[in-house]
Amino acid sequence: MKPAVGRARCPGTCGEWVQGARDGQPFLIDCPIDRYAEVEATLKPERPGWTVPRAKTKASRALDLFLAERGLTTGGELRFLSQLPVGKGMASSTADIAASVAATLFALGETPDAAELAHLALRIEPSDSVMFPGITEINHVQGNYYKVLGPSVPAQFLALDWGGMVDTISFNLRFDLAGHYRKYEHNIGKALGLVRSGVEHADLEKLALGGTISALCNLEINPKPHFGKFKEWVRLNGGLGVITAHSGTLLAGVFESDRPLKHLIPDAEERFQPASVHYYQARDGGVQGVEDWNEPTFYQRIEVR
């Protein structure tokens, strides 16, 4: 008998439309894009334990929690394909965790539940909301509330990164984070209202304005080089604003979904000297089943060791 196999993928993000706190309660609204973590889970009931790549410690811990909560003792193996670099604020860990548990559920013949996936991810570290459909507001630390705001608004992003990494757990444990959120609570609240309205009315201009306000607030605690000049450059080239990875290194211009961006890359590279430049399309969040284990050339293969 062939072993049961499940495959799932979960999108990453181009940072967050807004992140901060209201009345001391942290929250974020992230920005799912067309880049994914994809996982294949193979059940091997005849042997105990799971084989998981060494680099995927967070996904491995989430899987252990899932199996313990379900009282499952079956063994197995996880294989990963990923388009999401680590430490950039693109929800790589959340996507790994959600796709790993979802793939295991598919192998067990069950349908993943986004709230269960979020619960497991939040037991590991502060997490994004990419396992939920559309665009979702979530308390990304305690996980005591979430609200699906609506479908993703068509958009694309020209994303620059100047290198380095930010650890999600360390960032959210910063002693000065709560004071930072209090200082900017009014502006963060304004950004939140714009982003909520932008999703509700499919208004990309409101989303981009909200994203820009939140990104400006974030500069004090997570500086981005060339922020002001890049923001103006985006406007001059037909963009609507900027979005940032609040606990990462990414900074991106927000553009309408049908605007050509490839020709802007050489100028962006020359002006801002980033370590990398990419462009992405907005998409809905949510975990999906995957029929075939294909390996596009842009996937980074992570071998099991």
CA atoms within 13 A on the CB side of 283: 16
Give the β-pairing of 156-161 and 276-281: antiparallel
Tens-digit pLDDT profile for residues 52-81: 999 999 999 999 999 999 998 889 999 999
* pLDDT at residue 127, as a whole number: 92
* pLDDT at residue 299, as a whole number: 44
Q: Which residues of the chain have pLDDT under 50?
A: 296-305
User: How many domains does the structure of the chain reveal?
Assistant: 1
H or E element at residue 186: helix 185-200
d(CA 93, CA 274): 23
For residue 57, what is the domain's CATH number?
A: 3.30.230.120
d(CA 231, CA 179): 26
In the chain, the amino acid numbered 214 is S
* pLDDT at residue 304, as a whole number: 34
Nearest alpha carbon to residue 274 among 239, 223, 224: 224
* pLDDT at residue 215, as a whole number: 98
Proportion of the chain above pLDDT 90, given as a percent? 81
* pLDDT at residue 295, as a whole number: 53
Tens-digit pLDDT profile for residues 78-137: 999 989 999 999 999 999 999 999 999 999 999 999 999 999 999 999 999 999 999 999
Its domain, for residue 129, covers 5-302
* pLDDT at residue 305, as a whole number: 26
Rounded to two decimals, what is the model's pTM? Answer: 0.92
Residue 243 pairs in a beta bridge with: 252
